[in-house]
Amino acid sequence: MEISDKNAYDIQQFCIEGVSVEPEKFIDSAGLTTIKNYAFKQGNPLQLYTRMIGVIIRDKYLKIKGISIDEIDKHDPAINV
C-alpha cells in the first residue's frame, strides 16, 4: 500500500493492522522476540501489544507528515455514514 496518497484514517488502519498481522515487517527480530516473551509472561495475546505498537507508529508517522490525529475521525467511515 502506498500510504502517501491516503488519508489519516487509512494510515491508522495500515499501521495498526499491518503490525498486528505482520509484525516482522515493522519490528526487528530481537525486538519481536522480546515482545513475544513479555506477552507470554503476562498471559496476553501478542496482538494486544502489536496493536499498541501500531498506534505508536501511526502517531510518529502523522507527526512527521504534519497531519493532526483529529484528521482520523474526519475520514472514519463508521462516523461519517
At 7-51, the pLDDT tens digits run 888 999 999 999 999 999 999 999 999 999 999 999 999 999 999
Using pLDDT thresholds of 50, 70 and 90, give the confidence band for residue 69. Answer: confident
pTM: 0.78
Please measure the distance between the N-terminal and C-terminal CA atoms of the chain and give it in whole angstroms.
24
Identify whether the C-beta of residue 54 lies closer than 8 Å to the C-beta of residue 81: no
Identify whether the C-beta of residue 50 lies closer than 8 Å to the C-beta of residue 23: yes
Using pLDDT thresholds of 50, 70 and 90, give the confidence band for residue 5. Answer: low
pLDDT at 71: 83
pLDDT at 78: 77
pLDDT at 79: 75
